Every structure is written in C-alpha cells, then in structure tokens.
Amino acid sequence: MSDSYVPPDTPLEVLHQDHAILIANKPAGLLSVPGKGEHLADCLLARVQAAFPEALLVHRLDRDTSGLMVFALCRQAQRHLGLQFEKRQIKKTYVARVWGLLTPKTGTVDLPLIVDWPNRPRQMVDPVNGKSAVTDWRVVRHEGETSRVRLYPQTGRSHQLRVHMMEIGHPILGDPFYATGPARDAPRLMLHAEALRLRHPDGGKGMNFSAKCPF
C-alpha cells in the first residue's frame, strides 16, 4: 500500500456537525486513520482535525470504501458512540456492485471471520476460530453481468462485506484483495457506506444520515 498511496485531493465534505458529533463523507482511496510513516499521514481523521481539532475517532472504513463516517467532538460523545457500535445499535447500509447476477432477491451470509495472518490484511472464513460475522443483502437491480445490492452488516468485522460477497461467489467489483478476473477491473472498489442510523450522544434522539452513492 505504501508504494501506491495517492490520496484524492478533494475538499472535506461535512454533512452534519453539532456540539457533539460530526458526520463526514469519506472519498474512496483515502485512509480513515494514518498509516505507519509520513507518506501515510494524510487521512480523513487528519483532515477533519485540521478543521475541528477536538474531533475524535469512533470507527473506520477501509481505504478503498467511500461514504459516511461519524466523529465525536468530545470524550463523552466518543464513549457513547463507541458503546452503540459495540452493542450493534448503530445501523449501517452499504451500496455495492458485485460480480454476477445475485439471486435470490434477499438473503443473509453468516460466516465467521478471522485474519489471514500470512496474508494480512486479508481476512478469511474460519468456522472454528473465527468471530461471528453476519451480513444481510438485498438486490437493487441487475446491471449487465453485475448486480447492484444493498448490504446491511449485523456485525462489524474487518473486510466483512468484501469476504462475505466473495464467499457466495459474487465479489465486489474492483476489490484488489478478493476479486479476480474481470470482476477486478473496475476503476475503484465498488463499495459505499450510504446510510447511518444512530442515537445522538446528548439526549439519545434517533438520527439518520445518508450520502449519495458515487457509482
């Protein structure tokens, strides 16, 4: 990754900001947090903190995934949001384009995941030692030899959506780790965090946010 990291030169897109939280739309190709070394310092967290120095990390998205990320603007909000993620109370919706004509219209993938140590950061299915990972899917439409789907992760494992789609024979287009052949030829990883539902850390009001899919 270090050899080819050219983060997109796009302005910070803040979709919501109040006294406790900030919602930003991460472009594909930008790290969520800094990597090891000066060349991997540019990331969404750094860009957010340049404008909002008090911003604190709550969760992350893969570098090649675009879409919504929530940041806390105080420690109390960070703790509150962290607990919501831990208890699986935050609901996330992703849009993806996957290879092949996915059927039926809806379904669930329930396959436990573990890091593939010799091939990090790749993850793999491990029924014995893996941690529970569950993804619901809904087909939006078929597009040529591909399918546009909405993915609803019930758990938040690393690379969960990417491995689950590959395991059922429909890898996400443009995935450098898990797609092969023509499925890999897309200009980017076709995965976007489209919607986020959470409770506001101050008062618990339910809030919904969305960011239009760019592909």
Annotation marks residue 9 as catalytic: no
Helical H segments across the chain, by residue range: 44-51, 75-86, 160-167
- 116 vs 114: CA distance, rounded Å: 6
Contact 1, 14 (CB under 8 A): no
Catalytic residue among 42, 62, 64, 175: 62
Residue type, 43: C
27 DSSP 8-state letter: P
Going by C-alpha positions, the residue among 149, 152, 154 that lies closest to residue 190 is: 149
Q: Are strands 91-99 and 146-153 parallel, antiparallel or unpaired?
A: antiparallel
Strands 66-72 and 21-26, by their bridges, are antiparallel
State both tokens at 191. Answer: 């995965």
Residue from 90, 107, 110, 95 nearest 163 by CA: 110
**CA 208, CA 90: separation in Å to the nearest integer?**
10
Helices (H), 87-130: none
Phi, psi of 120 (to 5 degrees): -55, 145
Catalytic residues: 62
